[in-house]
Amino acid sequence: MIKEIKSIDDVLAHIEEIHKSMEFNEELFPIVTDLFLFLKDMIPILSEANISVKESTSHLPTATDNLNSVTQTTELATNEVLDKIEHMSSQLNALKSLIRENKESDKQLSIVEDVENKANEIIFAFQFQDITTQQLEHTNRILTAVYDKFLSLFESFEVMRSRSSIGAEVAMAIENEFKKELERHKEEMESFQKRTEDIIHQNHEFSQEDIDNFFK
Amino acid sequence: MDDKKVIFVEDSPTMRRIIMNSLNKIGISQVVEAENGVDALEKIGDQDFDMVITDWNMPEMNGEELVKELRGSSKYKDTPILMITTRGMQDDVMTAIKMGVNGYIVKPFTPEVLKKKMSEIFSAS
């Protein structure tokens, strides 16, 4: 009687049972063995792929949120600092006039105190650096975990390829299909490449001097 | 508060400058800074501190581990501990209270908040 299948282990146990029941057919045996070996490798990979995709899909929005938050926090803090510096600059101009005219010493003192307060507020605004660093570190941990998951998936795929001839053939077939898909969706792939392109292009080997040389 | 001796533990150099700046403004001149829990324990050694200010997320030994370590020692089991952290969830605050911290500030904070919280803690201790 076929046992109820509730988990991957049940599937594998079921495959093993079928495998054993076919051992007496000498001609079929090597083919079936190869097929069962392939199925045994393939089922956990499919299960793992399912988990990897689900986990990555659930965590990547957090990474995106973190990056958006970093952008917002940085922008807010930068604007805050710039506002305060502009205020300080205008106050210092007013102070300069008062000192030149040598009048209103009380007002001069109050301007100095105001500038001092603004300077202190600027110091505190720089806390954004610590906050954004932690958000970026979290994003980095998420992306590294997703990368590791997929890397281990690809490694399992390679094991499947080496353990059975059917596995090798299926791996080859999947790769061929992938190449065909790439060709078929070339435009989409190019768009993906474009969307994920690094627009900053920070190439530290290319100096300002190198750029200036192009203009000579 | 000018007679108080404080150690603060923070891995971010920017935050260390900010906290040092505000502690000096509050009038606390006896300040020792540490980069993480391990560094803090080394610097604490046999010295007496009136307050420990610590971040939570830090490498090597985080704030949670440091607080547990201090609360487990006979010398520092009652020393006021103020936690300044980016962790602002209710669960985090509850965990911190259970660890035995005396005050909790979420970043970003203002010098006024730091001064008020420190005064409250010193008055209560």
pLDDT of B86-105, one tens digit each?
Answer: 988 889 999 999 999 999 99
- Residues in chain B with CB shorter than 8 Å from the CB of A129 are 12, 14-15
Query: How many H-runs (helices) and E-runs (strands) does chain B carry?
Result: 5, 5
pLDDT at A182 over 80: no
Judge whether B120 and B103 are in contact, CB under 8 Å: yes
User: Which residue in chain A is spatially nearest to B55 when comparing CA positions?
Assistant: A130
pLDDT confidence of residue B25:
86
Picking from B78, B80, B51, B52, the residue whose alpha carbon sits closest to that of residue B66 is B52
pLDDT at A45 over 70: yes
pLDDT confidence of residue A158:
81
pLDDT at A28 over 80: no
Judge whether A39 and A15 are in contact, CB under 8 Å: yes
H or E, element range at A136:
helix A128-163
Between chains, do B14 and A120 touch, taking CB under 8 Å as contact?
A: no
pLDDT at A203 over 60: no
Across the interface, of A123, A125, A129, the residue whose CB is closest to B21 is: A123
**CATH no. of A8-163:** 1.10.287
Interface test with A, best of B9, B10, B11, B14 (most A CBs within 10 A): B14
* pLDDT band at residue B56 under the 50/70/90 scheme: very high
Mean pLDDT along residues A176-185? 78
Exposure letters A169-199 (e unless 16+ CB within 10 A, then b): ebbeeeeeeeeeeeeeeeeeeeeeeeeeeee
B14 inside 8 A of chain A by CB = yes
- Residues in chain A with CB shorter than 8 Å from the CB of B110 are 124
pLDDT at A202 over 60: no
* pLDDT band at residue A206 under the 50/70/90 scheme: low
Across the interface, of A120, A131, A134, the residue whose CB is closest to B108 is: A131
B57 inside 8 A of chain A by CB = yes
More confident residue, A193 or B102: B102
Picking from B124, B125, B80, B70, the residue whose alpha carbon sits closest to that of residue B101 is B80
> Which residues face B53 on adjacent strands?
B8, B82
Mean pLDDT along residues A123-144? 91
Structure tokens at A104: 């209103």
Exposure letters B49-79 (e unless 16+ CB within 10 A, then b): bbbbbbbbbbeebbbbbbbebbeeeeebeeb
How close, in Å, is residue A75 to chain B by CA atoms? 15
pLDDT confidence of residue A24:
62
Judge whether B104 and B95 are in contact, CB under 8 Å: no
ipTM of the complex: 0.72
Picking from A89, A71, A76, the residue whose alpha carbon sits closest to that of residue A136 is A71
pLDDT at A145 over 80: yes
Mean pLDDT along residues B22-30? 89
pLDDT confidence of residue A23:
64
Q: What are the pLDDT digits (tens) for B59-81?
A: 999 999 999 999 999 889 999 99
pTM (2 decimals)?
Answer: 0.69
3-state DSSP call for residue B32? strand
pLDDT at A4 over 70: no
How close, in Å, is residue B63 to chain A by CA atoms? 15
How close, in Å, is residue A128 to chain B by CA atoms? 7
pLDDT confidence of residue A205:
64
Q: What are the pLDDT digits (tens) for B107-118?
A: 989 888 999 999
Mean pLDDT along residues B7-21? 93
Between chains, do A129 and B12 touch, taking CB under 8 Å as contact?
A: yes
Amino acid letter, residue A17: E
User: Strands B5-9 and B51-54, how do they pair?
Assistant: parallel
Q: Which CA distances in Å does B106 have to A157, B90, B92?
A: 46, 11, 11
User: Which residue in chain B is spatially nearest to A117 when comparing CA positions?
Assistant: B111
Mean pLDDT along residues A1-11? 66
pLDDT confidence of residue B3:
87
Between chains, do A134 and B108 touch, taking CB under 8 Å as contact?
A: no
Interface test with A, best of B10, B12, B26 (most A CBs within 10 A): B12
In whole angstroms, give the CA distance from residue B68 to residue B5.
21
Across the interface, of B25, B57, B108, the residue whose CB is closest to A127 is: B108
Please, what sign has the CA dihedral across residues B30, B36, B40, B42?
A: negative
A119 inside 8 A of chain B by CB = no
pLDDT confidence of residue A119:
93
Amino acid letter, residue A150: F
In whole angstroms, give the CA distance from residue B115 to residue B51.
13
Mean pLDDT of chain A: 81
